[in-house]
Structure 1
Amino acid sequence: MQIPHIQTINDHISYLTPTEHPLSANVVIIEGDAFFWVYDVGNHPAVSEILQKKSEQTGKEIRVILSHFHPDHIGNLSEISCEAVYQGKNTFRYTKTGTVIEEDTWFQDGDVWLHLFPIPSSHAKGSLALEVDETWCFLGDAAYATQKNGQTVYNAERLLAEIRVLKNVRAPHFFLSHSEPFQQNKEDVLEWMEAIYEKRKRDESYIKTPQRL
């Protein structure tokens, strides 16, 4: 079994690497003065152990932010003792706990600023993104396509709406779950998404495309 390991982004942001067996997404950890803010909780059994240990060692409670409802992103939620859970309404239908975020929401924890915002996505309706300090923006799987009738496709209308939202994000660094490297330049991600949108055909709602950046 693969074991996720910790990678550092800066002094207060790190993440646990994704795994394929079991399928488990990147788990982002932002350390504020009062809380550990965790963006997605993955599906690997080692994740909950790592998070609980960090919480116990520092005395800081965990606040969870969920990008969307797929099991590789929320599977460990019931195994983690957390002070709060934030998610979109579609994810809440699966978790049945915490707070639903339907508009731009900001938190300050010491020197750390967190910006939660809904983001249109072909991959999963009701996705939630996280921007930290107007520098780092975590998107989960929101930039990816979905499967429809055996095809990898984007909803053209939703993709255009997502591009418009992302253009207004101030952070220059985007992070796409499961991607290697995890960190991408905002301009590169938008260029990739706009190239996909340009492939749309008139009178067709979906765009067929490869899955990943």
Structure 2
Amino acid sequence: MNKITENIFYIPASTNPLSSDVVFIKTENSTWIFDVGTSVESMNEINEIKGTKNIVLSHFHLDHIANIHKVNFDNLFVSANTKRYTSKGTIVKSKIVFENEQIEILEVPSSHAKGCLCLVFADYAFMGDSTYCKEVIGNHTYNVQLLKAEIDFLESLNCKYVCLSHDIHFVQSREKLIELHKSIYERRKATEPTISVEDFFNPDGSVKIIA
């Protein structure tokens, strides 16, 4: 379990099994959990928590939600698309706030997957995979309109940091992420609905590491 602040912790993502980062936020009244992953470690950690447990699922991909049927919780928040896979949970259609506005749950425009949610707490926005491109080996792309909407969304946030699942640098500067995505947006062509970022990836689909 890694520590971000005195009340924010996370289990890092893994590749075997493929599992998302799982975030735990301790507030005065409850524990908020962002994504549940697939690993036994994440499942056990969630089930061992005492008191009120609220879970937010970032999107429907199995590496983020597979444990949802193996853990106990009090409240579950999902997008409409994710509920098609979980068959349970409160659907988030617009921004909702909890804990005297300490916790915000919002929909995120995303090329990666339909129905992405983020959770904002203090100076951190937990984004899941929402800022990533559409991933098909040999065809990594951003939708032009969704990328612009995503940039606008990121600029509307007041927090300093974004937390990106699976990234070796889980906590990143929001401003730096905006700069990166603006540079990708500048690649757009008037006649094309998508922007290729294939040069960011190796032939096997893994992300290139730039020293």
TM-score by length of 2: 0.91
2:139 is aligned with 1:144: no
Displacement after TM superposition at 1:101 (Å): 0.4
Counterparts of 1:184-195 in structure 2, within 5 Å, are 184-195=172-183
Counterparts of 1:69-148 in structure 2, within 5 Å, are 69-108=60-99, 113-133=102-122, 135-148=123-136
- Residue 154 of structure 2: aligned partner: 166
TM-score by length of 1: 0.90
CA–CA distance in 2 between the matches of 1:149 and 1:45?
28
- Residue 3 of structure 1: aligned partner: none
CA–CA distance in 1 between the matches of 2:82 and 2:130?
13
- Deviation by residue 1:70-90 (Cα, 9 ceiling, x = unmatched): 001001000110101001111
Out of 35, 59, 77, the position equivalent to 2:30 is 35
CA–CA distance in 1 between the matches of 2:95 and 2:83?
17
Gaps of 5+ in 2: 202-206
Displacement after TM superposition at 1:202 (Å): 1.2
- 3-state SS of paired residue (1:170): coil
CA–CA distance in 2 between the matches of 1:33 and 1:52?
19
Q: Contact between 2:46 and 2:72, CA under 8 Å: does it hold in 1? A: no
2:39 is aligned with 1:50: no
What is the letter of the counterpart of residue 125 of structure 1?
K
CA–CA distance in 2 between the matches of 1:148 and 1:82?
34
- Residue 12 of structure 2: aligned partner: 17
CA–CA distance in 1 between the matches of 2:188 and 2:160?
27
Moved over 4 A (4+): none
Displacement after TM superposition at 1:50 (Å): 1.4
CA–CA distance in 2 between the matches of 1:114 and 1:160?
25
Displacement after TM superposition at 1:148 (Å): 5.0
What is the letter of the counterpart of residue 103 of structure 2?
L
Q: Contact between 2:162 and 2:174, CA under 8 Å: does it hold in 1? A: yes
| RMSD of aligned Cα (Å) | 1.5
CA–CA distance in 1 between the matches of 2:37 and 2:170?
15
What is the letter of the counterpart of residue 141 of structure 2?
V
- Residue 61 of structure 1: aligned partner: 52
> Number of matched residues?
201
What is the letter of the counterpart of residue 120 of structure 2?
E
CA–CA distance in 1 between the matches of 2:135 and 2:176?
24
